[in-house]
Amino acid sequence: MSENTPNPLAQRLSARLGASLVALTERRGELTLEVLPENWLAVAKMMRDDADLSFEQLIDLAGVDYLGYGQTEWDTTDVSNQGFSRGVEGEGPGRFRWSDRPKAGKQERRYAVVVHLRSIAHNGLVRLRAYCTDDALPLIPSLTGVYPVANWFEREAFDLYGIVFEGHPDLRRILTDYGFVGHPFRKDFPLIGNVEVRYDAQAERVIYEPVSIDPRVLVPRVIRDDSRYDQAKAEAAAAQPAGK
């Protein structure tokens, strides 16, 4: 955490941005800053212009939909002695069609925008994250004025997640088809999609129809939190010097 970290970059960041940071974490040498959407622009500007930070490049901008985070489709904690039927109702995107897609639940702060900034001068990389406050209309200020490259990345996040970037000069869809409906990377958008397209010889044009394939999941989503992985890791670590 931000206290007693030896990382000089983390110290500089918390000194400069202290007030506008919600959290500053470091794991595996990767720094993650969480900021509020209202401070989003100011923090980005500071990150770019401050000589001690000088993050000249925006490397990546990703939208994230946290719906169903940590949800599992296969129960691994309380198994009875009744046998193997321990599948639980999961709502993974592969399990439903467009017409019976799950209603967005009471998930708090569903959408987030994650940005990776790189400092060429100081050889640093930092992750910035902001959760959008309103799930019905996720809003966040656009970074296009600070980093021009954000233009297309934000269009992509808008297209795939429906996150609206305020002040973006040209917020159009970018990856999906002209006239596409919905935001396909949201977790409540079915994996099989909504419509399929084919050429109709009678109508002599390309027509859209509801998808004809059935949703199915080959491998259920499983979260295992048992000691076997730690044990395997320890065994591997013990075997490594001999193997090398």
Partner 1 sequence: MQEIRNYTINFGPQHPAAHGVLRLVLEMDGETIMRADPHVGLLHRGTEKLAESKPFNQSIGYMDRLDYVSMMCNEHAYVRAIENLMGIEAPIRAQYIRTMFDEITRILNHLMWIGSNGLDLGAMAVFLYAFREREELMDCYEAVSGARMHATYYRPGGVYRDLPEQMPKYKESRWHKGRDLTRMNEWREGSMLDFLDAFCKDFYGKVDEYETLLTDNRIWKQRTVGIGVVSPEEAHAWGMTGPMLRGSGIAWDLRKKRPYAAYDKMDFDIPVGVKGDCYDRYLVRIEEMRQSNRIIEQCVKWLRANPGPVMVQNFKVAPPSREEMKDDMEALIHHFKLFTEGYCVPAGETYSAVEAPKGEFGVYMISDGANKPFRLKLRAPGFAHLSSMDAIVRGHMLSDVVAMIGTYDIVFGEVDR
119: left (phi over 0), alpha (psi -120 to 50) or beta: beta
Instruction: Tell me which of 34, 51, 225, 241 binds partner 1, using CB under 8 A.
Output: 225
Residue 93 and residue 69 in contact, taking contact as beta carbons nearer than 8 Å = no
Instruction: Tell me which of 26, 56, 75, 135 binds partner 1, using CB under 8 A.
Output: 56
Stretch binding partner 1 (CB under 8 A), from 34-42, 50-58, 100-108, 131-139 = 50-58
Spatial separation of the C-alpha atoms in residues 193 and 184, rounded to whole Å: 8
Q: Which is nearer to partner 1, 203 or 237 (CB)?
A: 237
- DSSP, collapsed to helix, strand or coil, labels residue 16 as helix
Residue 45 and residue 191 in contact, taking contact as beta carbons nearer than 8 Å = no
Using CB under 8 A as the binding rule, whether residue 46 contacts partner 1 is answered as: no
Instruction: Tell me which of 176, 182, 195, 211 binds partner 1, using CB under 8 A.
Output: 176
| Number of residues engaging partner 1 in binding (CB under 8 A) | 57
Token pair belonging to 237: 């670590």
28: left (phi over 0), alpha (psi -120 to 50) or beta: left
Mask: binding to partner 1, 124-143, rule CB under 8 A, as x and -? -x-x----------------
Question: Shortest approach of partner 1 to residue 166 CB, angstroms?
Answer: 19
Residue 157 and residue 165 in contact, taking contact as beta carbons nearer than 8 Å = yes
H or E element: which one contains 232?
A: helix 228-243
Cβ partners under 8 Å of residue 121, min gap 6: 54, 56
Question: Shortest approach of partner 1 to residue 5 CB, angstroms?
Answer: 17
Instruction: Tell me which of 2, 12, 92, 97 binds partner 1, using CB under 8 A.
Output: 92
By the criterion CB under 8 A, which residues form the site for partner 1?
27-28, 30, 32, 56-60, 62, 64-65, 69-70, 72, 92-94, 114, 116, 120, 123, 125, 127, 147-149, 151-153, 156, 173-177, 184-185, 191, 217, 219-225, 228-229, 232-233, 235-236, 239-240, 243-244
